[in-house]
Every structure is written in structure tokens, then in C-alpha cells.
A and B are shown apart, each in its own frame.
Chain A
């Protein structure tokens, strides 16, 4: 199975719009939403029976037994994450706690314990045609990278006979993005012709290169700033990065998405353009 991941660096450039169109065009048997912080792919592709849901346990969280605590302040002094709050005795800030266990190690009276904590939900949509793995991180939780790994694992386990899997990534370059990059065969970067978009594109390309994953670039809404679009194409040419096409700004695209469709479900300019991008991409994949 080949895995194609769509990333962008900047948010809102059209990752999910592209991914949902690719899934339709490829009649993909397996796909996943790795944007566990703000998943959206299920709004378009989550039709059909209710998904199988599993609790996702992140790192455990510390818990202080107030009956045993002698108020020595050691846990607070040693915690590097400012997760121990001294207010009416000593308490753990569950959002700040990273689960390292240092407080347990330094407590002289054994008043601190680590407790398992649910940090999100894994969801698996499955029927005879497809496997769709997604998740929702609990508000304010950390370890989103680990949850991304679980999303991919859940998909891989059930999708061994599938030729192509398509993965929707998250914005940024940090831990969830690094986790989504790990083990994929190819990355498509959806760029946006803005100064911000170009800056972010360069940072995500640098990150993918560190992880040694081959990539190609496409531009979305290219006609909103032709000068910047040209700058992106020139950059790709100079860096010898495959450039797989442009998609125009299209009011019909918003309408398609808002009615729960992909842009290739209706006849529109962005849908036709994304099909060309897909064809170019398949050639080099």
C-alpha cells in the first residue's frame, strides 16, 4: 500500500478540499484524517453507519492524595511543566501535566500517583468499500502526535489489501505533523499564493526534507494573486520540486463543501483543475 499525505504548513489552504476530491477520484479504499486537533474530513466522508469508537489514552496524569500530602513543596519545585499548583494544599493542573512521573519520584511520603487519562477518541468508519480512520483530541490535551500515530495504525491494520491510502494532515510543522509524516511514501503540499502561505510552505518543505520524504507542490486559489503564484512555481523550479498544477478560486467550491459534497461531485472549475492535479500526481507517485 502506498500512502499519500497532504500537508500545507499554513492552515486553510485547502488540504481537506483536495483530500476529499482525491478520495473520490481514486475511489480510495483507505483514508485517514491526521488533523486530530481540528478534524474536518468526516464532515464530507463520514457518511454511512456509525463509526466504531475507542477511547484514546494519552500520557497518565499525576494525582496528589491530600490526606497523605505533608506540603513539603518538593513536587512543585521539581516539576518542569508548572503543573503543580499550591492553592488550598497541593493540586495537579491536569492540562499542564505531561505525565513524566518526576513528582511521584520526589514525593517523600508517597502521596502522588499516576492515573491513566483519556485524551481523545479514535473513530473508524468501515464498510465493504472503505476504511476511514479519524480521531478527536480532547480539548486542551497534549500528545496529539501519539494520537496521529494511533489513527494511522488503526487504518493500516484494516487496510492491508488497499493500493493507495490518502491522508489529510494538520497545519504547522510540529509534533502532529512529524507524526503524520513518519512512514508515508509521498507528500503533496497545497500552497497558497500569499506571503504568509509561501513562508509557511518553505517551512513545511524543510520539515519533510529532514524526514527524507519525496514531495510535490500544487497551488490552490492561484488566481487570487498571480504574482505570488508565479513566485511559488519559480521556487519549485529552482529547488527541483515537482509542480503538479494549480486550482482556481471558485465560489462553487464553498457551495459544494457546505452541502457536504466534494468539489468533484459537481461540475465546477476547481473540480476540473483538481482532477488534473490528481492525474499529474498519480504519474509520479
Chain B
């Protein structure tokens, strides 16, 4: 089963929740889809890492064959090609690798080359198989890396997959939750956190995904996020307190469930709850 952890706003504790959920399970796959800023591996420090380079296809023009008809330039919806000084110039950064230019060239003057945009690293940390997507700096889109990550993970009933999503609510988040059986929304008690929670809540509803909220960084002060959940009848899965100890452990990238019995219990019961929800969904089919 795929459990996606998302938040809209950055820094609410997606990685904290995902890492500890995976660590508390008897056996789990942790998949870090926040390929622009992956952090889970910093906690897990996986061993026996196998790296796979992720490539996209970029066009190359054979100027001997090119007759300057500009069909490719006219076709490209992303303005990634231009005809300058009697030659086709390609702007790799804006190319979406759709293959259209190669397709429309009547002279077969366009071929494609593989270009590396990042990598996927797979390794083991105790009971957790750690899968990390890493986008190279300067590259625009990590979606091909997320696709690779998720395509190589089996979605069976007996396998637990925890998907750590990127922030926001754009295409890259959607790609990460597409196959999810359940979405955990991590929210913090600020008006920023609330505003962004509303957005991801809308997103998961758009995809008809069952979901629940983890309220992170809770203190004695007012919690606008909690009020919203109660009003909208969104299930609150658990509340995690804001404590200095947790802050320090987390900032040093320690996995709290591996060293603290209280938090081990908290995350075990969170995982139980979510697994039961998924099984319930599977039975009722709603």
C-alpha cells in the first residue's frame, strides 16, 4: 500500500512524519519524492547504496541534413528551438522532451540524446529500504525522477510504501500522490499552515483520496488548523507536541522512534490507524 505524506507548506514536518512512520514499521519502503530538496536520507543514512542516473531525451540536429524548413521551430510549443544564422539552435533548459521536433522533421535531421537530470539512490537502513530522488541543481523538472521512483516500487497489499512528497500543490505533488491509497496531511498551527492545508486538502479531494491530518508543532496557544479540521470534519490522526527535545533531535537528523519509547508508541499507533483506514477503504470501496 502507498501512503503519501504531504503538506502544501514547506517545513511543517513531512519528512519527520514519513521517516518515523517508515522506521516504526516491521518492514517498509521509504520513497523521497521531494527531489528538489531530499532530506530523508540524511536521517536514515542508508547503506549499500545503488545509484541509477535518470536521463531525459534532448534533441540534436544534424546540420548536414537540415534544410532550414523550420518545421521543428514552428512545432515546438515550449519555444525550445530557434532558427538563428542559418542553423537550428536548441535551448535544452526549456525542452520538455516531447519528441515533437524529431517527429515533424521531414529530413530526419533530428535525433535524440540522453541527458542526465539527476539520480535515484536505493539503499537499506535497518528495516527500511530507502529510495531517494535527487534533481541536479539548475534542472527545471524532477517529474521524470519521481516517475522512476514510483514505477520501481511494487504496490501490493503486504508492502508498506511511505511516500514523502514535495511541498506545494502543483504537478510535481500530484505525480507523487497519484497512486496513493491514503494521504496524510501534515499541518502546523499558523495561518500560513492553515491556508496551505486548505489547498492540499482540496487537491486530495480532487483525486478522491482518503486522508487524515497530523497536527504538528502543537502548543498551548490557539490552533487555527485544528479548528478548521473540526469544522470541516476532517479526521485528526494525531497531535505532535512542539518540544525543544524534538526540535534538537530532528535538527540533528536523528530518528526519534529508534531512541524514544514514547514517540515509538505514538508513531506505531498512527501507522496502525492509517493501515486500518486503508483496509477499510479497500473493503467498502469508497
User: Chain A: residues with CB nearer than 8 A to chain B?
Assistant: 9-13, 16, 37-38, 40, 43, 59-60, 78, 80-81, 95, 98-102, 105-106, 137, 139-142, 144-145, 170-178, 192-197, 199-200, 203, 206-207, 210-211, 224-225, 228, 251, 254-255, 257-258, 260
Contact = CB atoms under 8 A, between A and B. Distances in A.
Interface in B175-199: 188-192, 195-196, 199
B10 A43 contact: no
Contacts of A207: 137-138
A200 B196 contact: no
A251 B190 CA distance: 12
Interface stretch (B152-160, B162-170, B273-281): B162-170
A139 B78 contact: no
Contacts, number: 183
Contact of A16 (B99, B174, B192, B202): B192
A172 B37 CA distance: 6
Interface residues of B, number: 59
A190 to B, nearest CB: 11
Nearest to B253: A195
Contacts of A193: 251
Interface of B is mostly: loop
Given A102-B98, A207-B137, A257-B191, 10 more contacts: A11-B11, A37-B170, A43-B191, A137-B169, A141-B171, A144-B168, A144-B171, A206-B137, A258-B191, A258-B224
Contacts of B104: 105
Contact of A137 (B10, B139, B170, B195): B170
A116 B137 CA distance: 32
B196 A40 contact: yes
Contact of A38 (B139, B191, B199, B206): B199
Nearest to A257: B190
A78 B139 CA distance: 24
A106 B9 contact: no
A176 to B, nearest CB: 8
Interface centre among A37, A144, A170 (most CB of B within 10 A): A37
B39 interface: yes
A100 B78 contact: yes
Contact of B167 (A37, A80, A260): A37
